[in-house]
Each structure stands twice: as structure tokens, then as C-alpha cells.
Amino acid sequence: MSDKPEATGTRGFREECGVFGIYGHPDAANLTYLGLYALQHRGQEAGGIAAWNGKRIGVEKGMGYVADLFDEARLARLPGRSAVGHVRYSTAGGSLLENAQPIVYNTNKGPLAIAHNGNLVNADELRAELEAEGSIFTTTSDTEVLLHLMARSRAESLVEALRDTLGRVRGAYSIVLLAGEKVFAARDPQGFRPLTIGRLGDAWLVASETCAFDLLDAEPLRDVEPGEIVILDAGGVASSCFAMGRRTAFCVFEHVYFARPDSTVFHRSVAESRRAFGRRLAREHAVAADVVVPVPDSGVFAALGYAEESGIPYGMGLVRNHYVGRTFIEPKQSIRSFGVKVKLNPVRSVVGGKRIVLVDDSIVRGTTSKKLVRLLKAAGATEVHMRISSPPTTHPCHYGIDTPQRKELIAATKELEEIRTFIEADSLGYLSLEGMLHAFGKGEGETCAACFSGRYPVPFAVAQEQQPLFGHDDVLPLGGHSGNR
């Protein structure tokens, strides 16, 4: 989900989320808690669980980590056999508690609770239209638009109302919807964000990533397909397709950075993708060096791949303090710079007197890389060769990954050599777009790599703050289909 632009401060769209749903288990809320715990990396600012207790939907949500938000007493307030949950990350402006999910409404179709991962690119238009007709919104989140559309649908069944609703929205959405005791899950026709189905005894589960099933000892079954609605109820799993066969747009950045490496996403192991990116990176940007050092945790698997392919030994030259949040999240430049030092410390015995290949997944503003190069040199590294397991990040994401405005992306304004100079590395090499997609095993026509290419698979209105720096961004047409525009 995302916040309206005016609520997102100066850093542009920021929305990263994880969703979970369960039908048919006596401890539905407890299992949702565990599922969200495994999905915490997808959003650390707020979380919530909604459960159907036979009469109404109860909801508990708040700001902070899942482990801090819930205790036994709070979970006990959520009895029932079906539940949905959400973790989210947003800006200071948009991180108000009322924007935490699931969002619960009593509607003419009964009580509904929704949790959404992704970003609806036409939410502002729809919201303006709905407000002009008298709808009252209680959050600044685009997800609420979905509930309004559900409530207004004249369809007789819930699944038809959901089909009507999804026919009106555009962009990225993996959603879970609790409607009375039933759980619905749906994925946008392009399948930007992951959503997968699992089974635990007689209970059915849906989650953003398979790592949530692993924690529950649940069996992963299959993905919710792009353009599919899945209904979990007493009849088991039923499926209704509302838009099949479109051009898919699986987000490659899920594999580069966002998803957990122990998850299978878009039918592929994330760890294996990262290793393949690293191997390819070693072929594209070889260098004479003594040790390959990952930036933990994001660069670990790519660095392994780089080391395997190059034959240069792998060494844990940086150690991470796991009790610090992601440095990227800190709002102020001063805190962010400081955050790198707090989070990562060099291991002198590994890096001292050595020529280092430093591998990370991406450079966003360049702050992290610069700090790390300085830290390694201060710890005695003689050379630091920065290697990035994805292409230059030149464009913001409009489909649900947190990225700053375009002008803050270092690769949007600087050439390779300027970036190298800025981060003070001895050399800098990025994986090529072609190389990344080859290692990902998917063509550009079935993926979304807009943050690297500027080719956005689903058009969006260009708001003031997202104006391209140099001319207009290309918008890639949906191959052969008009989509639901």
C-alpha cells in the first residue's frame, strides 16, 4: 500500500509491506503473528492483525516491530479461525497509526478487513472521484480506496464485488481480505509483488513470501497467479481469474534486495538469483584482489557468487550489529551516515593489508558505499573495488518498493566515474541490465526492472516530485493488452 503523495514528505513514494492470511485454524491470530514475524523485513514501522471471531472482526495494530506490538494478552483478544495481517513501512508523514493495516470497515457486504502490499498508481484519481461523490476517507492510504470500491459495488457476491473493484484499480497489489470467516487473496494482473499459498493440516495460508510458511512448518503449495483471486473457506481453495494472460511484471528488485534469501519468489530461490547475479558480476567486472567481502546482509549471496566465479577467497570483512534497524530508514542525512558505522564494523584481521572486492546489492544515494569504503580503508584495506549486483538505480519505484525521489538517486544524476569518485572506491562495477535479467532467468518483457531502466510496465500519473530529470521516462506498453486502464 502507499500513502497519498502529500503525506509522504519530501522523499517521494515510500511503501513496503508484507501480508499474511489464514483460514481454518483455531490459533489463527497466533499463526498470523508468527507469519508476520517472518515477514518483518518487508516493513518495520507498523503491523496489525485482524481476526473473525464468529460475530465480528477484531483488530489489533500499532507502530513498531511485530515482536514488540503483540504479546499473549493482545493475541488473546483476537480469537477465531480466520485472520489476516500486515507489516508496513512508510514515511514519517504517512506513518500515522490510522494508516496501519489491516483496515477494517463494516460495509453493506458485511465486515471486511484488508491488508495490501504494493502501490495503486491510480488511487489518487479514484479517491478524488469517490470523495466528489461523498465518500469519507479515514486514512491517507491508497488501500482504503479498495474498501470503498468494494462497498459501492452492486455485485451480489463478494467475489464479484472484488472483481469489480480490481477492474478499477491499476498498479501493484497483492492483497488479503478477510470477509467474515472467508479469506480472499488477490494479485494484480502483472504480478508485481509476490503472494503465495500454503497449507498447514486443514488450514490454508497465504503469505507474501514462503519464509513465513517455513516458520510455521507449513507446506508451500503454489503462487496466487497474476490476475487471480483465491478464496479460502470451508470448501478449501477456490480460484477466480479476473485478468489472465497479461504481460507479467515480476519485480526483479525483490530478488536483488527486498525478499528474504530463504524464500522462493516468482518460482525461483532468491538466494540462487543472488548467487547468479554475483557470478555474472564477476565475469562482467573482474579485478585482481585478495578477498571478496560482502556488505551484510544484502550482499552476502552475491559476494558468494562473485567469489566462486572469480576464485578469490570469500571473507566476512564486515560484521553487522543485528540490533540496529536498516540505516536506509533513518530520516535525516546525518543520522543515516552515522547509522552505517553503528551497523557495520570492519574485521581488521580479514581486511588489513588486503585488496578488497566489496559486494553490495545496490547503491541508492551512495551514502552507505562511501562510508564503507572509508571504514575499510581506515581498517587497513589497501584497495577497495566496489561491485554492485544490479544495474545503476536510476528511477524510483511506483509499485511498492521504497525509493527516494529521482534527484536523490546518485545514478540518476552522476556518471559511473563520478559515482566512483563520490564513494571513494578504487574501481566500481555494476551488473548490466542484460546480465541481471539473464541471471534472473526471465526476459525484460515479463519482469519489472523500471528502477534500473526507467521503463515502467504500467503507466502512472507523473506527480510534481516524480518529474523525470531528463525528458520523459519511457512507459512500456502492456504487450498486446489494454490492461484494466
Which residue from 252, 363, 381, 386 is in contact with ligand AMP, where contact means CB under 6 A?
Answer: 363
Kindly state the smallest distance separating residue 408's Cβ from ligand AMP, in Å: 8
Radius of gyration of the chain (CA): 22
Cα–Cα dist 277/299, whole Å = 10
What is the CA angle 383-255-65, rounded to 5? 95
Kindly state the smallest distance separating residue 336's Cβ from ligand AMP, in Å: 7
Which residues, in sequence order, are CB contacts of 269 under 8 Å at separation 6+?
261, 263
Closest to ligand AMP by CB, 139 or 298? 298
| Segment near ligand AMP (CB under 6 A); pick from 110-118, 212-220, 316-324, 366-374 | 366-374
Kindly state the smallest distance separating residue 174's Cβ from ligand AMP, in Å: 17
Cα–Cα dist 221/381, whole Å = 47
133 within 8 A of 53, measured Cβ to Cβ: no
Verify binding: residue 45, ligand AMP, rule CB under 6 A: no
Give me the residue label for grid cell 480472499: 184
| Segment near ligand AMP (CB under 6 A); pick from 23-31, 48-56, 205-213, 364-372 | 364-372
Q: Is residue 17 annotated as part of the catalytic site, yes or no?
A: yes
30 within 8 A of 66, measured Cβ to Cβ: no
Verify binding: residue 243, ligand AMP, rule CB under 6 A: no
DSSP character for 466? Answer: G
174 within 8 A of 188, measured Cβ to Cβ: yes
Verify binding: residue 254, ligand AMP, rule CB under 6 A: no
Q: No. of H helices and E strands in the chain? A: 17, 23
Report how far apart the first and last C-alpha atoms of the chain are (Å, whole number): 19
Closest to ligand AMP by CB, 129 or 330? 330
Going from the C-alpha of 331 to that of each of 187, 326, 334, 347, 411, the distances in angstroms are 31, 11, 9, 28, 20
Of 378, 166, 384, whose CA–CA distance to 295 is shortest? 384
Give the other-Cβ count within 10 Å of 185's Cβ: 27
Cα–Cα dist 199/220, whole Å = 6
474 within 8 A of 455, measured Cβ to Cβ: yes
DSSP character for 64? Answer: S
Kindly state the smallest distance separating residue 326's Cβ from ligand AMP, in Å: 5
* All three cell numbers of 451: 528502477
Closest to ligand AMP by CB, 62 or 366? 366
Q: Which of residues 221-240 bind ligand AMP (CB under 6 A)?
A: none
Kindly state the smallest distance separating residue 148's Cβ from ligand AMP, in Å: 29
Q: Cα–chain-centroid distance for residue 119? A: 10
Which residue from 142, 402, 444, 473 is in contact with ligand AMP, where contact means CB under 6 A?
Answer: 402
Closest to ligand AMP by CB, 154 or 322? 322
| Segment near ligand AMP (CB under 6 A); pick from 76-84, 134-142, 204-212, 354-362 | 354-362
* Phi, psi angle pair for 125, to nearest 5°: -60, -45
| Segment near ligand AMP (CB under 6 A); pick from 110-118, 220-228, 313-321, 363-371 | 363-371
Verify binding: residue 389, ligand AMP, rule CB under 6 A: no
Closest to ligand AMP by CB, 226 or 339? 339
Verify binding: residue 368, ligand AMP, rule CB under 6 A: yes
Closest to ligand AMP by CB, 355 or 365? 365
Kindly state the smallest distance separating residue 3's Cβ from ligand AMP, in Å: 16
Closest to ligand AMP by CB, 325 or 479? 325
Site string for ligand AMP, 279-318 (x = CB under 6 A): ----------------x--x--------------------
| Segment near ligand AMP (CB under 6 A); pick from 40-48, 106-114, 175-183, 357-365 | 357-365
Catalytic positions, please?
17
Binding site for ligand AMP (CB under 6 A): 257, 295, 298, 326, 328, 360-369, 401-402
